Amino acid sequence: MKNILLFIIPLSLVFGIDQAIKWFFVINNFNYDGNIISLVLVYNKGVAFSMFAFLEEWLKYIQVALLVAIFIYFWKNIVSFKSYIIPAGIIFGAGISNVLDRFIHGGVVDYIFWHYKFEFAIFNFADIMINVGVACIIIYTLLKKNTKT
């Protein structure tokens, strides 16, 4: 039960925070133009850097299938999953939130635009949380290897 909560709580927090921020931008059509970061509402039809936008309507179903496949893999390899349960919850919460956007809005709601010194892709809180989750998994893996030697 504890392991399930360690997965569900970060998943729910990331999902809830991300959806709340996105709905704020959607309902208010909020925009802010700053010197370093601008906040602009954009619907990304692709994935990172708008790649695979040509898949259009199929992309959301491919992403759902991918999330289900990863979840099944973790479920069948529960020993490995326990080591990464919190970062996995973070990643799944963010991933589910972005996929839900595709069903509701026709694309992922993005709003953070970094443009200081160089222009970066427009992204959202869920994208940041996916990177945080992956970084945690990498750090956990490296720390685990160092303790074995």
Active site residue 18: no
Kindly name the residue from 18, 33, 101, 110 that is annotated as catalytic: 110
Enumerate the β-bridge partners of residue 86: none
Biggest CA-to-CA distance, the chain: 54
| Catalytic residue of the set 18, 33, 101, 127 | 127
Could you tell me which residues come within 8 angstroms of residue 44 by beta carbon, excluding any fewer than 6 positions away?
A: 50, 53, 107, 108, 109, 110, 122
110 belongs to the catalytic site: yes
Adjacent-strand bridge partners of 112? 39, 123
Nearest to 135 by CA among 67, 86, 95, 64: 86
Sequence-ordered list of residues with C-beta below 8 angstroms from that of 113, at least 6 positions apart, any chain: 37, 38, 39, 40, 42, 119, 120, 122
Q: Which residues are catalytic?
A: 110, 127
